[in-house]
Amino acid sequence: MRAERDELAVAERVLQRLSEQVADEQAEARLPVVQVAGRAVRLIPDRVPGVTEPALPAEYQRILAAVRQATGPVATRQIGEVLGLDTGVRGKLEPLRGK
């Protein structure tokens, strides 16, 4: 009886992990992918009540985290440095400015 109970406990933990993984994958899949200049990009959801930060693509979440860590106003160049972009090339920062 104990062995079966232990097996059931393990199975429940595995099921929980799989459920979380499926939920994450489904959330990511809800963001449509389109082609822009030959590159696949995810569309960003509209700002509506109930849409939270996890609904954003990972890069946008990293940008928000960098802005939150700043102690004052933030320049695009500073965010580019945090994200590891080549900030010496203006063309690399313009897409970031749009985000």
Is 50 domain-assigned?
yes
Is 73 domain-assigned?
yes
Q: Tokens 């954003």, residue?
A: 56
Is 87 domain-assigned?
yes
List pLDDT tens digits, range 50-75: 878 887 778 888 888 989 988 889 88
| SS3 call for 80 | helix
CB 42 within 8 A of CB 78: no
Answer yes or no: is pLDDT of 9 > 70.
Answer: yes
pTM of this prediction exceeds 0.85: no
Q: What is the domain range of residue 69?
A: 45-99
Is 51 domain-assigned?
yes
pLDDT (0 to 100) of residue 28 = 61
List pLDDT tens digits, range 24-60: 766 665 666 777 777 777 677 667 788 788 877 788 8
